[in-house]
Amino acid sequence: MNANEILDEMEKIFPQAQCELHHQTPFQLLVAVVLSAQTTDESVNKVTPALFEAYPDSASMAKAKVEEIESYIKRIGLYRNKARSILALSQDLEEKFSGQVPSSYKELMSLQGVGRKTANVVRSVAFDIPSFAVDTHVDRVSKRLGLAKPDDSVEKVEEKLKRKIDRDRWNQGHHDFIFFGRYLCTARNPQCERCPFISICRKEKLDAYKRKNAIASKNKKG
């Protein structure tokens, strides 16, 4: 079963897979993705309505005090660092890009708190540019299904997926992998009885690899 066939099966299970971060503009999407680091989309969606009502664009956000931004997002993890990041990126957008969210990797990643994953999401969702963001769900599913090796970096996983999946399926494929990892092939207690990929799943080998690495790391520290 190749990568495109895997996507076909995922889309049968999750035909409505899409970005779950609530937003109305590229700026709001950018902020939401930055806020989602190490936090669930559901948690982000609980704080962004009030945040975006107060600061709907980079012009208004850039004038805020970091403490004011913190008050809106303090229910999510790492909120102090994230408040500083979205304030700084808003100021950068105003000063360098006339308040417009750029679409190139270089320009997006020049903004505070924006890494390759965030840049990929914004390029894909806001601008419909073929991109394949790799988050924890995509990384886990890719390795369990043998589309990447256990020790592959996030960048390597992205490279392999983009090589194996048709370019015109990258944007939707990202959402397919996320939904599959978020709602079926979860980190703990995956629903293997529902999975169409049992015959190719490498979860046991991947778990053994992680245990071996954990033991080696513990011995090294000891």
Flag whether 21 is in a domain. Answer: no
Shared domain for 8 and 68, answered yes or no, is no
Tell me the CATH number at 195. Answer: 1.10.1670.10
Own/partner long-range contacts of 147-150 (Cβ < 8 Å, ≥24 apart): 147/3, 147/6, 150/205, 150/206, 150/209, 150/210
Shared domain for 92 and 158, answered yes or no, is no
Catalytic residue set: 117, 135
Tell me the CATH number at 51. Answer: 1.10.340.30
Flag whether 39 is in a domain. Answer: yes
Judge if pTM exceeds 0.85: yes
Shared domain for 74 and 39, answered yes or no, is yes
Flag whether 20 is in a domain. Answer: no
Task: Please count the structural domains in the chain.
Answer: 2
Shared domain for 98 and 190, answered yes or no, is no
According to DSSP, residue 102 is labeled P
Q: pLDDT (tens digit, 0 to 9) for every residue of the chain, 222 residues total? A: 899 999 999 999 999 999 999 999 999 999 999 999 999 999 999 999 999 999 999 999 999 999 999 999 999 999 999 999 999 999 999 999 999 999 999 999 999 899 999 999 999 999 999 999 999 999 999 999 999 999 999 999 999 999 999 999 999 999 999 999 999 999 999 999 999 999 999 888 777 767 777 777 667 766
Instruction: Output Rg (C-alpha) for the chain, integer angstroms.
Output: 19
Shared domain for 192 and 99, answered yes or no, is no
Contact 72, 54 (CB under 8 A): yes
Shared domain for 158 and 107, answered yes or no, is no
- Dihedral class, residue 100 (left if φ above 0, else alpha if ψ from -120 to 50, else beta): beta
Domain boundary among the residues 103, 127, 151 is at 127
Q: Which domain holds residue 31?
A: 26-127
Shared domain for 208 and 172, answered yes or no, is yes
Shared domain for 117 and 31, answered yes or no, is yes
Flag whether 31 is in a domain. Answer: yes
Q: Which two tokens stand for residue 198?
A: 């049992």
Shared domain for 176 and 147, answered yes or no, is yes
Domain boundary among the residues 95, 127, 159 is at 127
| CA distance to 19, 26, 160, 171, 217, per residue, from 3 (Å) | 21, 30, 10, 14, 33
**Among 38, 41, 46, 172, which Cα is nearest to 115's?**
38
Backbone torsions φ then ψ of 119, nearest 5 degrees: -60, -40
Shared domain for 31 and 112, answered yes or no, is yes
Shared domain for 162 and 118, answered yes or no, is no
Domain boundary among the residues 94, 127, 160 is at 127
Shared domain for 198 and 156, answered yes or no, is yes
What local confidence, expressed as pLDDT, does residue 44 receive?
97
Contact 167, 124 (CB under 8 A): no
